Amino acid sequence: MSIRETVNNPHSHWMDGTGPESDIVISSRVRVARNLAHLPFPHLLSREKAEDVIHAVQTAIENRVFREKMGKMELTRMNELTPVERQILVEKHLISPDLLEDFERKAVVLRDDEVLSVMVNEEDHLRLQCLLPGLQLNRAWELVSRLDDGLEATLDYAFDEKLGYLTACPTNVGTGLRASVMLHLPGLVMVNQIKGVLGTITKLGLTVRGLYGEGTEAKGNLFQVSNQVTLGQAEEDIIANLISVTRQLLGQERAAREALYRERREQLEDRVGRAYGLLKHARVMTSDEAMSLFSDLRLGIDMGIIKNIPAPLIIELMVLTRPAFLVKVTGKDLSPVERDIYRAQLIRKKLSAAQQS
């Protein structure tokens, strides 16, 4: 898939809903920060030197050995894309919003299936990322590590014997690794347990943040849990810790769902039914309202209350109804009100198509 196809297609492999525990773990992500030796970090990099970094990466991915090992990966400079296309890559979680800042000197490398990507000249020269559906952190690390080895075969990394991989921000030094899972936790939110549970997590060297939300507010009951420490623990240990905490969370979320079903079944079914009704028939829908209704509907699907809608469609809709995708779909700039109208229209269309199929 070329980058054009990537931005035209709202679907990514991570939204498949195919991985283990995918009723609650939406996706697993591993990223590592790497820098090239003997060059200032991106925020101090001159325009020409930034270009040198992009060149070096281009050469590294065109190397025959790299290609044999990793397959074809395509480098695209951020300035070759339109603002909407750039924003879409963010909405698909393939790049960070930071890559849009000062984008003239930045680039992205994507593998066809969008599972692997490399951001060039973000906060660090290289940020290698793997994004997979469900709970697959070990696999994600394996793939990132292989990509890392492939690049290191031709690129000289800034590495220190004592401190490990050197990064622009001291919070990333050492492994440079940030592993995270995106979790859908409506049960824990509904039984009012989420604050306590997430509070505990932060005591275990992990951080939690709401997805798409500011601060701790989580839209669509989606939470991202990630490691905080990158120095002094081996990559495998960091990942094992995150997996074990995620498993605990899964247990608690499932227990909460069962309790809700047992004790407040009518209210739960009512809530799911109302969400479905609104999504199917509303004519104007803000992004916040949609996110919260998607969460209720998805819970209904996962619990077998709603049977004719495939679960992955909900994640796809969460991405598809973000502002940049709406602009892409409609092919024109939209005012906020128009956006809410198109959003409602698109949701109705997708849901009725799913029902008929």
Partner 1 sequence: MECERCHQRPATVHLTEIINNEKRTMRLCEQCARELQAQAMGFFPQINLHNFLAGLLHNEFGFPTTGPTVAPAGARCEACGLTEAQFARQGLLGCGECYRYFGPRLEPVFRRIHGNTCHTGKVPERTGGKVRVINRLERLKAQLREAISREEFERAAELRDAIRELEKELQEG
Which residues form the interface with partner 1 (CB under 8 A)? 35, 37-41, 43-44, 83-84, 86-87, 90, 97-98, 100-101, 123, 145, 148-149, 152-153, 156-171, 173-175, 177, 209, 213-215, 228-235, 323, 333
Q: Is 182 flagged in the annotation as binding?
A: yes
Shortest CB 327 distance to partner 1, Å: 9
Q: Is 234 flagged in the annotation as binding?
A: no
Q: Is 157 flagged in the annotation as binding?
A: no
Pairing of strands 164-165, 126-133: unpaired
Q: Is 28 flagged in the annotation as binding?
A: yes
Q: Is 30 flagged in the annotation as binding?
A: yes
Q: Which is nearer to partner 1, 239 or 297 (CB)?
A: 239
Q: Which is nearer to partner 1, 54 or 166 (CB)?
A: 166
Cα torsion through 208, 183, 27, 341, rounded to 10? -100
Closest CA to 61 of 71, 50, 49, 51: 71
Shortest CB 207 distance to partner 1, Å: 10
Q: Is 187 flagged in the annotation as binding?
A: no
d(CA 147, CA 112): 14
The answer to whether residues 109 and 74 touch, using CB atoms and an 8 Å cutoff, is yes
Cα dist. 299→46, 202, 219, 241, 338 in Å?
Answer: 49, 26, 14, 27, 29
Q: Which is nearer to partner 1, 163 or 353 (CB)?
A: 163
The answer to whether residues 185 and 249 touch, using CB atoms and an 8 Å cutoff, is yes
For 6, phi then psi, to 5°, come to -60, -45
Residue corresponding to tokens 């992500």: 29
Binding-site residues from annotation: 27-31, 93, 127, 178-182, 209-214
